[in-house]
A and B are shown apart, each in its own frame.
Chain A
Amino acid sequence: MIEFDRTTRTYGSKVAVSELSLTIPRGELFALLGPNGAGKTTTIKMLVGLLRPSSGVVRVCGHDLVKETRSAHRHVGYVPDEPYLYDKLTGHEFLRFIADMYGIPRDLSDEYIAREIDRFELHEFANELAENYSLGMRQRLVFAAAFLHDPDVLVLDEPMVGLDPRSVRIVKDLLKKKTADGMTVFMSTHTLGMAEEMASRMGIMVHGNLKFLGTVSELREQVDMETRNLENLYLEITSSATRVT
């Protein structure tokens, strides 16, 4: 569903992402980890079409993000780290806009909007202007918008920021259910516990290179047995100059 084919992105002389080749199949939750400046955000921006790769190809559901941008976007739901909301739209109006944009017929869109409002518990403030929302409310609304059109691919950049524990639980349960139903999830996060709990596979990116790709158990097998804690494993990989895989 997601394919990076020798994808490179440079910023001037700096290589932000170097020859990334990665395929994420249907129904997988993939977590991308890495220190600040590793290239995670650049990777995500290429995946959602904000950045064009300097070389290589990025595909979503078989559509090239550069040549078939709209067709690719049709399949994608995106929750950025700093989501944008129209301050002068209510939550309900914003969801209506999203529904119309994805071509959801009117009779279905009412049902889907009600479903997401219910799912993310937006009832209390759905008819208030977004300018009055707290960070947590905004994040929940953005999640609702991302799930509204039942995307085949969900891209999440630090998704749990601003969410209270109840909302975090709602999102986790939803992601598990959706991936079981066949949705592909690409998640960038600093929260190691979340990656360990949720991800089918994970990648650790350092200086634009994917230093590790695999499951948590595979990661543990390849590193010194004394450092079984994921945090220690992660710190060892990100500080090591040697490629593990």
Chain B
Amino acid sequence: MQKQLLDIPQENQLSRKLRRTLAWNIVTSTVHQSRFRFGLVLVLSIIFWAAVFCLFYDAFSFIDSMHAEVISLLFNTFFSALMVMMTFSTGILMYGGLYRSGESSFLLTCPLRAETIHAHKFTEALWFSSWGFILLGSPMLIAYGIVRDAPWSFFVMIVPFIVTFVVIPASIGSILCMLVVAGLPRLRLHALSISFALVAVGIFWISWSTFSSTKSQLLTTAWFEETLSRLAMTEQVFLPSWWLASGLLDAALRGESPDLTNQSTREALKFLGLILANALLLSLIASWVARWTYRKGYSNLQAEVPIRKRRQLFWLDELLTRGGSHVGNPIRLLLVKDLQIFRRDVTQWSQFIIFFGLLGLYFYNLRSFNYSHVYASLIGHLNLAVVGLIFSTFTTRFVFPSISLEGRRFWILGLLPIDRDQIVLSKFFFSFAGGLIPCLGLILLSDSMLGLPWSTIFIHLMCSLALCSGLSGIAVGMGASIPNFRESSPAKIAAGFGGTLSLVLSAMFIILLVVTVGFTHHFNLLQQTLGQVPLDTASQLLGSSGGQVVSLCIIIAGGLLATFLPLILGIRAFRQLEP
């Protein structure tokens, strides 16, 4: 049989067909197998989009009087930050997709051009790295357009502006990734690490110099003008983010006459053309770079010898192994195993550090602003909810699948002289102990930066303790009740019915606790601050000392129930399980 090599359009058509088929099958199988999760994600996404839209609508309405001074800077800062993030995120995604994935190994053995394989993985990476931009950017821009009474053409141009813009940083990220892999194989890790460090230092310096003003008092006109002047560095005419911001602002201009409006629209189209041209050019360059460097880079990367580390026992592992009684030894050894796996899994601890680190940074900067006592209390409660929600994402994403992930290794545990109860309990202690310090530490930081009284801090710490315990209990209990031993990907396990249910129960638990403590404490604060407050009987009762005690009892009871009920049910189910 005469086999034909495909030409470029045919290869691209094949790649598009593959992506369409995969996308369709993913959607239909998700709808068919995980209707609950699909529906929940859809509803929550709509709620999130609507909430962001309302937030931006209020914000743009609030600053509409200062439009000329503020909006250009805000847009430029927002889009330039997104541009930098997208460059790095796409670079990382392309590294994984082109050089470390099973699919790329398969496609490289097929009669396909290197640039076709690159384009295929690039499209995938573009979707992954830009969905956040679309989710945040679309409600923001639509809200802006409504507030400014923009012409209909503005709303039509939002999509092409966003789509063409995201290609620019994504292409840059992809080009840098391929060049680093092909050109600096030995220094790759060092080059990336140094780049990250430099960017992180740069961002930190910019943030610090922008917001740590010593010349003007905070939240005054002078401070405002000073901060805006520091953000002016993002308004550079050669930056794609400036083209995007300028194009959108021109598109949203409604002139005094239709001719003026049309003129602004034409200006916007020029910027759109500029972005499109640069996006196409960078895509072409990325394709060329792939053609000349991808296969060579892949081969060089395969040939790299991994550095074999001689791993000595970490001091904490040694302490856990040797310390304590003989009775608790199996649980401690299981804890050591999970701790070692956690430390050696970059995905887990890096996400942990990033999320909690960002929260810590935000809480630390709370001291920069002056709040009224009531307002500070409200922010404190919201921060408590945020800490709980962040921790629940970790328990759902990593703790819930932990028992299922023992699936392939379960035969090892099954042969050891340990009870199944001990396996479940070790997961609970790992999650609880691991989350307790960051959660308590963050709440302490938040409340002290807000200047809250020690009584409030105590309540929040108790709440945080209950949240750590309850969320760990829910995740471990659900994981033991509904394990999935066939699946090896923690993301897929967490995305299943059990993981989704665990997330929903965790969210309900957080809301219950925070609303309980929030209502009673808030009304109590109102009574203390404002004296005789004309509240109804129920509100007065909630705000009284008795109400405080009742809320504390609810916190403790809720925490104990959320901890022990799912754990007991999980242990019972796990005992009878046949993996």
A93 to B296, CA, bound (A): 31
In the bound assembly, the distance between CA atoms of A104 and B111 in angstroms comes to: 13
Once bound together, how far apart are the Cα atoms of A93 and B20, in whole Å?
Answer: 12
Contacts known (A11-B305, A70-B113, A84-B102); A51 close to B22, Cβ less than 8 A: no
Stretch at the interface among A29-37, A73-81, A118-126, A197-205: A73-81
- Which residues of B lie under 8 Å from residue A97 when comparing CB positions? 14, 17-18, 21
Residues of B within 8 A of A102 (CB): 3-4, 111
Q: How far is the CA of A164 from the CA of B305 in the complex (A)?
A: 36
Give the distance in Å from the alpha carbon of A149 to the alpha carbon of B5 in the complex: 12
Contact assessment for B21 and A93 in the assembled complex, using a CB-CB cutoff below 8 Å: yes
- A48 contacts partner chain B, Cβ-Cβ < 8 Å: yes
Expressed in whole angstroms, the Cα–Cα distance for A100 and B18 within the complex equals 10
Q: Does the CB pair A50–B110 fall under 8 Å?
A: no
Most buried by B among A73, A78, A108: A73
Question: Does A12 lie at the interface of the complex (its beta carbon under 8 Å from any beta carbon of B)?
Answer: yes
- Do the beta carbons of A78 and B111 come within 8 Å of each other? no
* A70 cross-chain contacts in B, Cβ below 8 A: 5, 111-113
Contact of A84 among B3, B106, B299 (CB under 8 A): B106
- Known pairs A69-B295, A100-B14, A103-B3; A50 contacts B302 (CB<8 A): yes
Q: Is B193 at the interface (CB under 8 A from chain A)?
A: no
Check A89–B1 contact: CB distance below 8 A: no
Q: When the two chains form their complex, are residues A52 and B3 in contact, meaning their CB atoms are under 8 A apart?
A: no
Return chain A residues, CB-CB under 8 Å to B110. 73, 101
Q: Judging by beta carbons under 8 Å apart, are B17 and A86 in contact?
A: no
* Interface check A220, CB cutoff 8 A: no
With an 8 A cutoff between CB atoms, is A10 at the interface? yes
A199 vs B103: C-alpha distance in the bound complex, in angstroms? 31
Which residues of A97-143 are within 8 A (CB) of B?
A: 97, 100-104, 108, 129
B88-131 vs A, CB cutoff 8 Å, 1 = contact: the mask equals: 00000000000000110110111111000000000000000000
- Evaluate whether A71 and B5 lie within 8 angstroms (CB atoms) in the complex, with A84-B106, A88-B26, A101-B111 already known: yes
User: In the bound complex, what is the Cα–Cα distance between A103 and B25 (angstroms)?
Assistant: 24
Residues of A within 8 A of B296 (CB): 52
Task: Judge whether B105 and A101 touch: CB under 8 Å.
Answer: no
Residues of B within 8 A of A84 (CB): 102-103, 105-106
Q: In the complex the two chains form, is B25's CB within 8 Å of A73's CB?
A: no
Cα distance A71–B25 in the bound complex, in angstroms: 32
Nearest neighbor of A77 in chain B, beta-carbon distance: B109
Roughly how many angstroms separate A215 CA and B112 CA in the complex, as a whole number?
A: 36
A71 (CB) vs chain B CBs: closest residue: B5
Taking the closest CB of chain B, its distance from the CB of A136, in whole angstroms, is: 15
Cβ contact within 8 Å between B109 and A78: yes
Is the CB of A14 closer than 8 A to any CB of chain B? yes
A150 sits at the interface (CB 8 A): yes
Q: In the complex, are the beta carbons of A103 and B6 less than 8 A apart?
A: yes
Chain A proximity of B413: nearest CB distance (Å) = 23
Taken together as a complex, chains A and B put the C-alpha atoms of A88 and B302 apart, in Å, by 27
Residues on B with beta carbons closer than 8 Å to the beta carbon of A82: 102
Nearest chain-A residue to B296 (Cβ)?
A: A52
Choose among B5, B103, B105, B106 the residue that contacts A74 (Cβ–Cβ < 8 A): B5
CB of A59 closer than 8 Å to a CB of B: no
Query: Which B12-40 residues have C-beta < 8 A from chain A?
Result: 14, 17-18, 21-22, 25-26, 29
A129 vs B10: C-alpha distance in the bound complex, in angstroms? 25
Q: Contact between A89 and B22 (Cβ–Cβ < 8 Å)?
A: yes
Contacts of A149 in B (CB 8 A): 1, 3
| Complex Cα–Cα for A75 and B109 (A) | 11
Residue among B3, B22, B109, B303 making CB contact with A104, cutoff 8 Å = B3
Who on chain A is nearest to B305 by CB?
A12
Known pairs A11-B304, A74-B5, A93-B21; A101 contacts B112 (CB<8 A): yes
- When chains A and B are docked, how far (Å) is the Cα of A198 from the Cα of B102? 30
The smallest beta-carbon distance between B14 and chain A, in angstroms, is 5
Q: How far is the CA of A103 from the CA of B26 in the complex (A)?
A: 26
Least Cβ distance of A80 to chain B in Å? 8
Residue from B29, B102, B110, B295 having most chain A Cβ neighbours under 10 A: B110
Most chain A beta-carbon neighbours within 10 Å: one of B102, B112, B298, B303: B303
Q: Which of B238-270 contact A (CB under 8 A)?
A: none
Is A49's CB within 8 Å of the partner chain B? yes
Chain A residues contacting B108 (CB-CB under 8 Å) are: 49-50
Return the chain A residue nearest B1 by Cβ.
A150
- Taking CB atoms, residues of chain B closer than 8 Å to A90 are 25
In the complex, what distance in Å separates the CA atom of A49 from the CA atom of B303? 13
Among A9, A12, A86, contact of B22 (Cβ-Cβ < 8 Å): A86
Bound CA–CA A97/B112 (angstroms): 12
Q: Which residues of B contact A6 (CB under 8 A)?
A: none
Kindly identify, within residues 270 to 306 of chain B, every residue whose CB is under 8 Å from any CB belonging to chain A.
295-296, 298-299, 302-305
How far is A139 from B242 in the complex, measured between Cα atoms in Å? 53
- A88 near B22 with CB under 8 A, answer yes
Shortest CB-to-CB span from B541 to chain A, Å, is 56
Contact partners of A69 in chain B: CB under 8 A = 295
Is A45's CB within 8 Å of the partner chain B? Answer: yes
With A97-B14, A103-B3 in contact, do A129 and B25 touch (Cβ < 8 Å)?
yes
Contacts of B17 in A (CB 8 A): 97, 100
Chain B contacts for A49, CB-based, 8 A:
108-109, 295
B356 to chain A, nearest CB (A): 33
- Is the Cβ of A73 less than 8 Å from the Cβ of B111? yes
- A92 to B: closest C-beta gap in Å: 11
- B residues 291-334 in Cβ contact with A at 8 Å: 295-296, 298-299, 302-305
The closest CB in chain A to the CB of B26 belongs to A88
Q: Which residues of B contact A104 (CB under 8 A)?
A: 1, 3
By beta carbon, the residue of chain A nearest B11 is: A101
* Residues of A6-52 contacting chain B, CB below 8 A: 9-12, 14, 45, 48-52
Given A50-B298, A50-B299, the answer on whether A108 and B1 have CB atoms closer than 8 Å is yes
| CB closest residue in chain B, given A150 | B1
Q: A84-B103, A88-B29, A104-B1 are in contact. Are A45 and B111 (CB under 8 A)?
A: no
Per the bound structure, the CA–CA distance linking A9 and B302 in Å amounts to: 11
- Tell me the bound Cα distance from A80 to B106 in angstroms: 9
| Contact residues in A for B304 (Cβ distance below 8 Å) | 11-12
Docked CA distance A108–B3 (Å) = 11
Task: Enumerate chain A residues within 8 angstroms of B26, measured Cβ to Cβ.
Answer: 88
CA distance A30 to B369 in the complex (A): 76
Distance in Å: Cβ of A48 to nearest Cβ of chain B: 5
Q: Which of B348-393 touch A at CB < 8 Å?
A: none
Q: Are B109 and A50 in contact (CB under 8 A)?
A: yes
Residues on A with beta carbons closer than 8 Å to the beta carbon of B25: 88-90, 93, 129
Given known pairs A71-B5, A84-B105, the reply for A51 and B111 (CB within 8 Å) is no
Minimum Cβ distance to chain B for residue A93 (Å): 6
Q: Which of chain A's residues have a CB closer than 8 A to the CB of B22?
A: 86, 88-89
Given contacts A73-B110, A104-B3, 14 further A-B contacts (CB under 8 A): A10-B303, A11-B305, A50-B105, A50-B108, A51-B299, A51-B303, A70-B111, A86-B22, A88-B29, A89-B21, A93-B21, A101-B6, A103-B3, A104-B1
Nearest 3 Cβ contacts at the A-B interface = A103-B4, A73-B111, A84-B102
- 5 example contacts (A-B, Cβ-Cβ < 8 A) are as follows A12-B303, A50-B298, A50-B299, A86-B18, A103-B3
